[in-house]
Amino acid sequence: MSLELGKLGESLTQKYLKSKKYKILDTNFRLNYGEIDIVAKYHKIIIFIEVKSRQFNANVAQNTNPPILPEEEFTITKQKRLLRAINTYLKIHKYPEYVDWRLDLIAVYFYPDNYEIIHYENALNIQ
């Protein structure tokens, strides 16, 4: 994935979230061990959002090696790094220990003539 595609996916995700009445609090919160793409608030819940974008061309159906889906990149290792970054974010911004939060995944599929956004709420799968 190119940097431009990732930035476009994050920009479209922000527009999508705003249309759903989410308030964007922060973007691209970076630490040595991870980055939180978007931090938003919906009602009283702090939402940490990982955005994964992928471009598909017209020949995808004919390809013998199917492309990796954005959701497949949301690995347990990635989730663990995000969880560590989330805990740091909450401490730095002095949120109380009992604050309601969740981790969402947004997959952005780019096709030749359009795009699709799939929103997975509460996507944390660490056992």
Pick the CATH number of 3-120 from 3.30.70.580, 3.40.1350.10, 3.40.50.2300, 1.10.10.10: 3.40.1350.10
Taking 60 as the threshold, does the pLDDT of residue 126 lie above it? Answer: no
Beta strand spans in 83-127 (E): 101-110, 115-120
Which one, of 73, 81, 75, lies nearest residue 107 by Cα?
73
19-42 pLDDT, tens digit each: 999 999 999 999 998 899 999 999
Instruction: State pTM to two decimals.
Output: 0.88
Alpha-carbon distance of 28 to 67, in angstroms, equals 26
Furthest-apart CA atoms within the chain: distance in Å: 52
Angle at 11 between CA 57 and CA 6, to 5 degrees: 50
Determine if residue 34 is left, alpha or beta; phi over 0 gives left, psi from -120 to 50 gives alpha, anything else beta: left
Tokens describing residue 56: 């598909």
Question: 39 and 25 in contact (C-beta within 8 Å)?
Answer: yes
Of 5-19, 34-48, 50-64, 112-126, minimum mean pLDDT range:
50-64
Tokens 């009445």 appear where?
A: 21
- Residue 25: φ, ψ to 5°: -100, -35
> Residue ranges per domain, the chain?
3-120
In this predicted structure, what is the pLDDT of residue 16? 98
